[in-house]
Chain A
Amino acid sequence: MVPSDLRYTKDHEWVRVEGKTATIGVTDFAANQLGDVVFVDLPVVGRAVDQFATFGVVESVKAVSDLYAPVSGQVVDVNGDLASKPELVNSDPFGEGWMIKVELGDAAQLGELLDAAAYEKLTAEA
């Protein structure tokens, strides 16, 4: 079961909105598919990210994948712990494995994302 309070992309990123801040990471499904994550390349604070455009790269022992932003906004925080502990993406993808926080530009963009039920359906079919 994925958390019901989050929104999801078809590319397996999640977003949690608290006030104007949107926290972004990848789902447990993505983490399992990737295998052991060894490196996460994230943008610097202050950079703008666009909805559905790449904002970083996640590298595991067997694959490299681009990260796609669920929403547009300016990066206000980056999870620095991932530099030394990329395995947090595997052990706690919805918690300590978060990647970036952006200042949400347009809340209407959330309407273009999947809710938990729709995302579970997507991964059940995968």
Chain B
Amino acid sequence: MAYGPHTPADRQRMLAALGMQSVDELFADIPEGLRSSPLKLDPPEPEQLLMNRLAGLAGRNRVELASFLGAGAYRHFSPPMVDQILLRGEWYTAYTPYQPEVSQGTLQSIYEYESLIAELIGLDVVSASHYDGAAATAEAALMTCRAAARRRVLVSQAVHPHYREVLRTYFAGAGLDIEEIPLVADGPAGGTTDLAELERRLAEADEPVAGVLLAQPNFYGLLEPMAEAATLTHAAGALFVAVVEPVSLAVLAPPGAYGADIAAGEGQALGIPPQYGGPYLGILACTDSLVRQIPGRLVGMTSDVDGKRAYVMTLQAREQHIRREKAASNICTNQTLLALAASVWLAALGPHGLRDVAAMGAARAAELEAALASMGVARAHAGAYLNEFAIRVPNARAVHRALLGRGVLAGLVLADAVPDQPAFADALLVCATEVTTGNDIATFARELGAVLGGETAGGAFEPAATPAAANA
């Protein structure tokens, strides 16, 4: 059988059938400025030379740093069995099987993913995964609008800034309103969502609220009063969405325990290495009463004609191949391989192992807080945190840069992440997990002390000369 792309004659026949002269005419609706320009590639080079060049580029990655960066992506130990299972060829079928019941193994893996996440989150239904945490969060917000038949959603400013950006994109397209709830400025609740303001916004009767989104832990690592926020939300007839970090649920109350109707989150922390640009894993879960509003694949367990256990795609009437433009979502995809990775990681650790991971991260973070405090660097907030917190550092951006020169990735410069929040102009967001070593913590504290002490050994701390500081 001949296998090849279309010949020029094939193209001419297709164009003739369409009544067109050229392939470009197919793209006439796309504005000129948005069309891709021709790729300007270097001439071909031998594979071995190319490999050398790529290895050189990869070598520029700083993998030796003592890293305290979290901010939505977290490092965890992943036993080799996780990768080993993922590498099996059986998994590399269509990521969403279109003759699904033939692929019982894939369906079983999805069913197990859904079951594990449902147990962790404490809600009834889990979809077979989404693109990433931001996409899942946006889908959760859209679910509240469909379920409540309302157009206005409130989101805490302590939800990850990237997620809020994606929310704004989804909502602009759908003609819906997204409003941000500010944070408490200082005091014991500083850095958490302002519940008094939430209550005020919920009471505005002219435009009733469909849903309220809070993150737990929030972007600044702090624990939010989720139960109180859920109660206020339900009193206004709206749905409550918890944006969660799944590993934390081994030690924190799960969304199902404090009345969340929907939970969304980034599943990367479940043993998937942090990667620039992904692929990551969007988690989305809801109560049984919202099952027809949840987008994405759902796999159920049933019996076949012989009474044997069988897995099936279920409730497909929500989906775009059945419902077209009326589907629960036309912009969702799933990440079956990453969901499988998360399932294998969770199964390998077991419930006790997962609790150990979460508890060890919290213990390491407490050590980090104490070590930094000994250098005179204090937390930016007073409230409880789990394994991530903000610290006040003068000239934060320049200090962060200086520490990179000393082998330390000192978390995230908050002024870059949330430039609209003057309260975080001089602050770093730092995190620890079970892979953070005592040595890493000692190095961070020592080098931070040296940098703040004005020591210029290594030549890296010259705030006025760094371009980033000059722009600030």
Contacts and interface: CB of A to CB of B under 8 A. Distances in A.
Interface residues of A, number: 6
Interface string A36-52: 00010100100000000
A64 B322 contact: yes
B235 interface: no
A59 interface: yes
B323 A39 contact: no
B317 interface: yes
Contacts of B292: 39, 41
A56 B348 CA distance: 45
Contacts of A59: 317
A62 B439 CA distance: 61
B230 to A, nearest CB: 23
Nearest to B323: A64
A44 B237 CA distance: 14
A39 B317 CA distance: 10
Interface string B310-349: 0000000100001100100000000000000000000000
A66 B292 CA distance: 15
A59 B149 CA distance: 20
B204 to A, nearest CB: 21
Contacts of A44: 149
Contacts of A64: 317, 322-323
Interface residues of B, number: 6
Contacts of B149: 44
A28 B317 CA distance: 22
Nearest to A66: B326
A64 B326 CA distance: 11
Interface in A2-23: none
Contacts of A39: 292, 317
B463 to A, nearest CB: 60
A41 B323 CA distance: 14
A114 to B, nearest CB: 26
Nearest to A58: B317
Nearest to B322: A64
Contacts of A41: 292
A19 B364 CA distance: 73
A59 B292 CA distance: 11
A64 B292 CA distance: 12
B238 to A, nearest CB: 15
B148 to A, nearest CB: 10
Interface in A51-92: 59, 64, 66
Interface in B131-162: 149
Interface string B108-151: 00000000000000000000000000000000000000000100
A41 B146 CA distance: 12
Nearest to B316: A64
A59 B327 CA distance: 13
Nearest to B149: A44
Contacts of B323: 64
Interface string B257-293: 0000000000000000000000000000000000010
A39 B326 CA distance: 16
Contacts of B317: 39, 59, 64
A87 to B, nearest CB: 16
A41 B318 CA distance: 12
A45 to B, nearest CB: 13
Chain A CB within 10 A, most for which of B149, B317, B323, B326: B317
Contacts of A66: 326
Contacts of B326: 66
Nearest to A47: B149
A64 B322 CA distance: 8
A41 B147 CA distance: 11
A66 B325 CA distance: 13
A59 B318 CA distance: 10
B80 to A, nearest CB: 44
Nearest to A54: B326
A59 B314 CA distance: 13
Interface of A: 39, 41, 44, 59, 64, 66
Interface of B: 149, 292, 317, 322-323, 326
A-B pairs, top 8 by smallest CB distance, nearest first, are A64-B317, A59-B317, A64-B322, A64-B323, A41-B292, A39-B292, A39-B317, A44-B149
9 contacts: A39-B292, A39-B317, A41-B292, A44-B149, A59-B317, A64-B317, A64-B322, A64-B323, A66-B326
